[in-house]
């Protein structure tokens, strides 16, 4: 019998053993790094490591072309630049995301427009996306949040109807599948992050897939990440015909990335198994809404986020999260503190100090209540950690803890 007195009230904790841990980096990475140094160059165009990292990535993803970048934020900026997004364009995206989704939009002097989300997948609601389209709309940046893909059939149908570019932010969604296709290969460009907190890490770094498969598109994308240098084969053309930043990846990152990609399948399999198990274990509890994976999809759970329905519980969301934490289960209330459009940058319409550009080019406004479902998600969500080094019994303990707390407060 599991004790019913909550740990937060002095009962015994559900979790009595430490969570599984492990080393993310080992000799595989060290060997690649040594080889990179022995090349006597750390420049991607002269060395072989970034090239190999990309060709391995392309093989896993079944794409012809991709470009390495210095971060996930950079990858999204590069995709926007390659897509031709520019001054005064509107770009529709998600209000629950990392700010890295938004940086490139504003650097292109385009205007982020936020559409609302689906209540349990936490991803863009295609109906809301379509409702936000204006004559200025040029692109949609879909965020596949926490390893769960957006409803891409509906998104692509809207994009085709209005002739929009689709950029997939896959920073949290490695090997995530939508109806058998990998997230990141469905829109025009797919953007990945290898910062230290993602499924795989190169310290910092990113990748952009060029899904048209067209050489011209690839050249444009590649040059946009390398201050307009066009380096293809032995040919190097240094022609400045437009503005492009330097977002190059170094050989050190590429080297670590080669070794990390070999672990990616295992990491994602474990996370999928654990996340789906958690959902099965907590489904049907009154007042608890599990993290819903999009229909026809396979999630790879960068984190697990359930929602509580306070009208069916005798506690608040914060009390529920605290009770879980007291049981020994890391749990935090919400994800980001508030929807991104409530941040001062949008409230003051000030991306550049002392200027309201480019916001003054559009009449879109960032009022509270703009995306009511998204606002509600952040008020009622509880985020649990999923890690590939956890054991099956760790997951069972997480399930028991949620059940115990829900049973107590559901009464
Ligand atoms: C991490 C992340 C980014 C940014 O990636 P960086 O490598 O940190 O620049 C962008 N979008 C989402 C959804 C992310 O989680």
In a domain, 363, yes or no: no
Nearest residue by C-alpha to atom 1 in ligand 1 = 171
Are 98 and 87 in a shared domain?
A: yes
Are 278 and 197 in a shared domain?
A: no
In a domain, 341, yes or no: no
Are 14 and 32 in a shared domain?
A: no
Are 301 and 208 in a shared domain?
A: no
pLDDT band at 235 (very low <50, low <70, confident <90, very high): confident
Are 85 and 167 in a shared domain?
A: yes
Are 153 and 42 in a shared domain?
A: yes
The CATH number of the domain where 310 resides is what? 3.90.1150.10
Q: What pairs with residue 230 in β-bridges?
A: 237
CA–CA gap between residue 153 and residue 90 (Å, rounded): 22
Please report, rounded to a whole number, the percentage of residues in the chain having pLDDT higher than 90: 96
Q: Which helix (H) or strand (E) holds 80?
A: helix 72-82
Total domains, the chain:
2
**Peptide bond between residue 358 and the one before it cis (omega within 30 degrees of 0):** yes
In a domain, 346, yes or no: no
Q: What is the pLDDT of residue 2?
A: 56
Q: What is the pLDDT of residue 3?
A: 64
pLDDT band at 120 (very low <50, low <70, confident <90, very high): very high
Query: pTM score, two decimals?
Result: 0.97
Ligand 1 atom nearest the C-alpha of 73 is 9
Q: SS3 helix, strand, coil % of the chain, rounded to 5?
A: 40, 15, 45
Give per-residue pLDDT as tens, 61-108: 999 999 999 999 999 999 999 999 999 999 999 999 999 999 999 999
State whether the beta carbon of 79 lies less than 6 angstroms from ligand 1.
Answer: no
Give the structural domain span for 66.
27-260
Are 215 and 307 in a shared domain?
A: no
State whether the beta carbon of 100 lies less than 6 angstroms from ligand 1.
Answer: yes
Are 121 and 55 in a shared domain?
A: yes
The CATH number of the domain where 102 resides is what? 3.40.640.10
In a domain, 348, yes or no: no
Are 284 and 219 in a shared domain?
A: no
Nearest residue by C-alpha to atom 5 in ligand 1 = 72
Give per-residue pLDDT as tens, 297-324: 999 999 999 999 999 999 999 999 999 9
Give per-residue pLDDT as tens, 144-158: 999 999 999 999 999
CA–CA gap between residue 123 and residue 127 (Å, rounded): 12
In a domain, 80, yes or no: yes
Domain limit, last residue, from 212, 233, 260: 260
CA 16 – ligand 1 centroid, Å: 34
Nearest residue by C-alpha to atom 6 in ligand 1 = 72
Domain limit, last residue, from 260, 290, 322: 260
Are 170 and 297 in a shared domain?
A: no
The residues that are catalytic are 198
Are 281 and 295 in a shared domain?
A: yes
Please report, rounded to a whole number, the percentage of residues in the chain having pLDDT higher than 70: 99
CA–CA gap between residue 358 and residue 352 (Å, rounded): 9
Domain limit, last residue, from 260, 281, 310: 260
Are 69 and 149 in a shared domain?
A: yes
CA 72 – ligand 1 centroid, Å: 5
In a domain, 251, yes or no: yes
């Amino acid at each position: 019998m599991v004790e019913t007195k909550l740990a937060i009230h002095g009962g015994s904790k559900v979790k009595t053993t430490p969570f599984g841990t492990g080393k993310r980096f080992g000799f595989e990475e060290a060997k690649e790094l040594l080889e990179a140094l022995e090349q006597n160059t750390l420049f991607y165009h002269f060395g072989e490591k970034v090239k190999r990292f990309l060709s391995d990535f392309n093989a896993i993803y079944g794409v012809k072309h991709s470009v390495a970048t210095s971060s996930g934020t950079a990858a999204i900026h590069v995709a926007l630049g390659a897509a031709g997004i520019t001054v005064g364009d509107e770009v529709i995206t998600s209000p629950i995301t990392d700010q890295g989704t938004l940086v490139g939009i504003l650097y292109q002097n385009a205007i982020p427009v936020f559409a609302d989300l689906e209540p349990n997948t936490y991803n863009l609601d295609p109906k809301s996306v379509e409702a936000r389209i204006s004559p200025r709309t040029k692109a949609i940046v879909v965020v596949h949040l926490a390893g769960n893909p957006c409803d891409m059939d509906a998104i692509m149908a809207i994009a085709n109807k209005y002739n929009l570019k689709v950029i997939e932010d896959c920073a949290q969604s490695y090997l995530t599948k939508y109806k058998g296709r990998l997230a990141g290969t469905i829109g025009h460009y797919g953007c990945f992050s290898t910062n230290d907190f993602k499924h795989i890490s190169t310290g910092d770094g990113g990748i952009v897939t060029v899904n048209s498969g067209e050489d011209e598109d690839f050249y444009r994308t590649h040059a946009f990440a390398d201050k307009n240098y066009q380096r293809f084969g032995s040919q190097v053309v240094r022609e400045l015909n437009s503005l492009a930043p330097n977002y190059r990846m170094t050989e050190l990152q590429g080297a670590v990335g080669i070794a990390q990609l070999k672990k990616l399948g295992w990491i994602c399999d474990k996370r999928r198994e654990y996340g789906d198990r958690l959902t099965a274990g907590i489904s049907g509890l009154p007042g608890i809404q599990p993290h819903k994976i999009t229909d026809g999809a396979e999630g790879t759970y960068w984190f697990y986020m359930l929602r509580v329905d306070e009208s069916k519980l005798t506690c608040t969301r914060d009390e529920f999260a605290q009770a879980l934490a007291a049981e020994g289960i890391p749990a935090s209330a919400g994800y980001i503190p508030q929807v991104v459009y409530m941040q001062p940058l949008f409230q003051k319409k000030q991306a550049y100090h002392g200027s309201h550009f480019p916001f003054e080019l559009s009449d879109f406004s960032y009022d509270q209540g703009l995306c009511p479902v998204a606002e509600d998600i952040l008020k009622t969500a509880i985020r649990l950690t999923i890690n590939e080094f956890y054991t099956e019994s760790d997951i069972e303990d997480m399930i028991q803890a949620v059940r115990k707390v829900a049973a107590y407060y559901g009464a």
